[in-house]
Amino acid sequence: MTKYKALAVSTGYWRPGENYREKIVEGVRGKIRDGDFIAISEKAIATATGNIVDESVVKASLNARLIVRYWMRVAWGHLLGRLCHFRGKLLQRLREYPLETGSRHKQVALQHFGLLQALMFGSEGGIDGSNLAYSYVSLPLKDAHVAAKEIRRQIWLRLRKKVFVLIVDTDKTYSFWNFHFTPRPRPVKDIHSFGGFIAYVTGRMFRLRRRATPIAVSGCSMSVEEALEVAEIANRARGYGAGRTVWEMAERFNVDVDDVSWEMLETVRHKPIVIVRGKR
The answer to whether residue 264 is domain-embedded is no
Backbone region of residue 3 per phi and psi (left: phi > 0; alpha: psi in -120 to 50; beta: other values): beta
Q: What is the pLDDT of residue 160?
A: 97
Domain limit, last residue, from 84, 111, 138: 138
Run means of pLDDT, 10 residues per run, the chain, 280 residues: 87 94 97 96 97 97 98 98 96 96 97 97 94 96 96 97 97 97 96 96 97 96 94 94 90 93 95 89
The answer to whether residue 265 is domain-embedded is no
97 and 221 belong to one structural domain: no
218 and 95 belong to one structural domain: no
The answer, as to whether pTM is greater than 0.85, is yes
121 and 29 belong to one structural domain: no
152 and 232 belong to one structural domain: yes
How does DSSP classify residue 185? S
Q: What is the pLDDT of residue 2?
A: 65
Q: Using the Cα atoms of residue 85, residue 106, residue 144 and residue 274 in order, give the sign of their dihedral.
A: negative
Domain limit, last residue, from 108, 138, 168: 138
123 and 155 belong to one structural domain: no
145 and 12 belong to one structural domain: yes
How does DSSP classify residue 73? I
26 and 75 belong to one structural domain: no
251 and 204 belong to one structural domain: yes
Q: What is the pLDDT of residue 277?
A: 95
Q: Which of 69, 51, 52, 80 is nearest to 106 (CA)?
A: 69
**How far apart are the C-alpha atoms of 241 and 239, rounded to whole Å?**
6
Q: What is the pLDDT of residue 119?
A: 98
Domain limit, last residue, from 120, 138, 156: 138
180 and 254 belong to one structural domain: yes
242 and 155 belong to one structural domain: yes
Beta bridge partner(s), residue 213 = 169
Q: What is the pLDDT of residue 29?
A: 97
Number of domains in the chain: 2
| CATH number of the domain residue 203 falls in | 3.30.1330.100
Domain that holds residue 217: 3-44+140-259+271-279
* Beta strands, E only, 88-188: 136-138, 164-176, 179-182
- 106 burial level (CB within 10 Å; 0-12, 13-18, 19+): buried
